[in-house]
Amino acid sequence: MGTRASGATVAAGTGPDGGSVLLGAEATGAGMDPDDLPDGLVVADENGRVVCFNAAAARITAIDPRDALGRPLEKALPLQDIEGRRWWQLTDPYGGLAIRSGQPERNLLLGGREVLVSARYVRTCPTGPVRRLVVALRGTEARRRTELSHAELIATVAHELRSPLTSVKGFTATLLQKWERFTDDQKRLMLETVDADANRVTRLIAELLDISRIDSGRLEVRRQRVDMVSAVRRHVQAQTTAGQRPDRFLIRMVEPLPDLWADPDKVDQVLGNLLENAVRHGAGTVTIEVGPASVSAAEGTSVTVSDEGPGIPEESMSRVFTRFWRGSKRGGTGLGLYIVKGIVEAHGGTITVGRAPAGGARFRFSLPVGTPAFMA
């Protein structure tokens, strides 16, 4: 039999006890088909009998809606908490305190499978009886993916920390035990190694903190006047000091540039990461282009870093800025470009990746001129 409610046609059926149940919009009064919802929806009436059980609920619980409609909620949806207690008896939605408005989302068990459940108690007046119980169901797949991502992050950082910490511990223990046996040159070499490994540990911890702030939306940007051309030249100088040939780098500038207000430390982090990637994973000349740009219809500055190496495969470009992506097996945590994207977006900017004219990788980020920190 067809029933029309709020302009939507829904189906009506009969429960096991012969009572009428609604399978669609009229069960929720929402003027829409519950089967269109991405999450599971179960609605019980004032007597605690199920009047709505949508398709997502059937998929999540593996329960046929025909076996649930018209039945008491505790039998149609026999939920248990982690300790095995019956959830509906424990929460007693139709009894207990009349000021309760529902239950927050929590992880419950249903026939051996985990389900995320939240509930809303609908009353005609604030302390009146429950007229409708609305239950939302979600699968745990998304949460498991998040937990897996966190576990991978911890495992990656722990692996990367192990090597430098082992080196630091080994050299310091050796120096403390046998200081007199080493020459000054040997001591200097070991201390330089300890210093380099300590810097590596510091960098890894900073990356971990940055990821935490990016994921939680708490990455702070302290805007100051930034001379992008000077910053680029400083990073190129650092690369040549570290042993790279000066003729491997080519800087191109398009002037005049607008005044840029950004976080200088984070801009340095972005430039350092992009240059290091070009040097480590690319080949040939590394070209850095600095020029004016338009970011969201506002003035800004863009920086393009490109190389002449093999480039990034087309099928991998969509994953470049995700966690743990590595362009090659030449080391690294695979977190750098994820952090770079987070920093650029925290400034209100954009970053893209493509293929350079010479065939290598081409990264381009643009930052709006911004507002000074003391005016924000």
Which residue in this structure is represented by tokens 């302290």?
Answer: 222
Residue 17 has pLDDT above 50, yes or no: no
User: What pLDDT does residue 22 have?
Assistant: 47
| The residue count for the chain | 376
Residue 333 has pLDDT above 80, yes or no: no
> For the residues 344-363, what does the mean pLDDT come to?
91
The percent of residues above 70 in pLDDT, for the chain, comes to 88
Tell me the pLDDT tens digit for each residue of 281-332: 888 999 999 999 888 778 899 999 999 988 888 888 888 888 767 665 555 5
Q: Which residues pair with 55 in a beta bridge?
A: none
Residue 33 has pLDDT above 90, yes or no: no
User: What pLDDT does residue 331 have?
Assistant: 54
Residue 14 has pLDDT above 70, yes or no: no
> For the residues 76-95, what does the mean pLDDT come to?
91
Q: For strands 260-262 and 286-295, give the pairing.
A: unpaired
Q: Please give the model's pTM, rounded to 2 decimal places.
A: 0.60
Q: Mean pLDDT lowest for which of 21-35, 119-133, 322-336?
A: 21-35
The percent of residues above 90 in pLDDT, for the chain, comes to 49
* Mean pLDDT estimate for the chain: 84
Q: How far apart are CA 337 and CA 260, in angstroms?
A: 22
C-alpha distances in angstroms, 62 versus 15, 25, 55, 114, 266? 19, 22, 10, 12, 49
User: What pLDDT does residue 139 have?
Assistant: 85
Tell me the pLDDT tens digit for each residue of 195-250: 988 888 888 888 888 888 888 888 888 999 999 999 999 999 999 988 899 999 99
In 3D space, the residue among 193, 199, 279 whose CA is nearest the CA of residue 240 turns out to be 279
Tell me the pLDDT tens digit for each residue of 158-180: 777 888 888 899 999 999 999 99
